[in-house]
Every structure is written in structure tokens, then in C-alpha cells.
Amino acid sequence: HENVLTIEADPYPFTFPLRSTALLVIDMQRDFLYPAGFGEIQGGNLEAVQASIAPTKALLEACRAAGMKIFHTREGHVPTLADCPSSKLIRQAASPSSQHLKVIGDKGDMGRLLVRGEYGHDIVDKLQPLPSEVVIDKPGKGSFWNTPILHKLKGSGITHLLISGVTTECCFATTLREANDRGFECVGIRESTAGYNPAFKTASLDMICWSEGLFGFVANLQPVLDVLF
Ligand code: TIU
């Protein structure tokens, strides 16, 4: 491999030094992707998010083959919910008439919703992390609040991020924006992210690369695979 790679992207080609670029796979958890999980209970369209599994697998394999550092994140909480931001708890408690039949911490078909250690909280079978890969448990939507991810990225000399995962409008976008503010050069991979609403996905990706890259870049999967393999 060349040390520095360039791929077609919006708003202009994205150049990244392979050894200081990491792949971030955001929240590809059963709770967001499988029936009866937290996402479906929230009202999410599962068909839309499930479309991101195969392209994320292809991206993950390419990054593994290229020897890149891989970070997986999982949204969730300790069993007491002591780490759950009060905004998340207050909104669900204040909505007895809401559409949500169950809330964070309630028992669902895959265990307690978004609680660490439960089956539904873990990453889907096809995308299970390898022992050499970093798993970041996060209580927020973004990956940088109340987690060690910044220290781990800096400690590994990472400056550039390929970002994938679900949902585009929520944890993917929040993480990409947080990373951009911390000086990381970010590219979101179009097919490897998906949202619960196609209009949200389009708008979220458009906002990232608007105005010469307001928050970063967006690229299609194929150019990434071409340059990594
Ligand atoms: N991972 C993630 O995006 N968590 C969410 O709660 N997503 C929603 O779209 N709600």
C-alpha cells in the first residue's frame, strides 16, 4: 500500500494516511437493528437500517485487511442506569402518553433495553469485533462524552476517521460532529450508514459536506474498497 491514499468524496477528494486512520463503526447493536429492539420500539424503520449491515461488513473487512485500527461503539448504560444522561430519562418518564411502550432499562425480548451485558445491547453477529479491536461503551449519542475514545484515538496517533454505523441522523452524525470539533478529518461512508428515516439520512449526509465540508466528507463505499484492497 501507498502510505497516503485518496478517494473520491464530497465535497472534494479525501486524502488519508493509512497508518493514522481508524475505522469507527457506530452502534451496530441488536437493539437498533433487530425486531423488538430499542429502535423498533422507538418507531424506527428496521428495513432501512438493516441495509447498512452488509456494506458495513464489506468496509470492516477491507479495513481489517489493510491493517487499520478499528473502533466499535455501543450505546448503553450500567444496570442501575446511573450513567444515563438525565435528559434521556426525563423525556421518557415525562411521556406516559407517548408512543414508547418500553423505555431504556425495561425488559424486552432481547433483554433490558440498552443495558450493558444484555444480548440486545451487543453488536450484531455479522459485525462482532475481533479481540484486537477497541469497543467503546458510551452513555450518550455522541462517542466522545463520558468515554475514553479521545484518549485512545490520540494515544494511537489517529488523525483521520472513516465513519459508519447507525443511525445516520443520531449517533453517527453526533459522533462525526464531535470528532470534527476535536480536529479529526472525518469521512462518512454512504452505504455503511443508515437511518430510521430516509429523509433524515439524506439531510444528515448533505449537512456534513455542505459548504466545502462543514463537518467533513462523505464518500461511497466502492472507492474505499478499491483503494484498500
Ligand atoms: N445509535 C443511535 O443512533 N441511537 C439512537 O437512539 N438512534 C436513534 O435514531 N434513535
Q: pTM for the whole thing?
A: 0.96
pLDDT value of residue 92:
72
| CA pseudo-torsion sign 176, 177, 179, 180 | positive
Question: For 140-156, what is each residue's pLDDT tens digit?
Answer: 999 999 999 999 999 99
- As separate numbers, helices (DSSP H) first and strands (DSSP E) second, the chain gives 9, 10
* pLDDT band at 116; cut points 50, 70, 90: very high
pLDDT value of residue 96:
57
**Separation of CA 16 and ligand 1 centre (Å):** 28
pLDDT value of residue 91:
76
* pLDDT band at 122; cut points 50, 70, 90: very high
pLDDT value of residue 44:
93
**Separation of CA 48 and ligand 1 centre (Å):** 13
Are 175 and 73 contacting, i.e. CB atoms less than 8 angstroms apart? yes
Select from 52, 63, 74, 73 the least CA-distant residue to 192. Answer: 52
Pocket test for ligand 1, best of 25, 26, 27 (most atoms within 8 A of CB): 27
- Report the largest interatomic distance among the alpha carbons of the chain, rounded to a whole angstrom: 57
In a 3-state reduction of DSSP, which class is residue 190?
Answer: strand
Pocket test for ligand 1, best of 104, 167, 176, 193 (most atoms within 8 A of CB): 167
pLDDT value of residue 97:
58
ipTM of the complex: 0.95
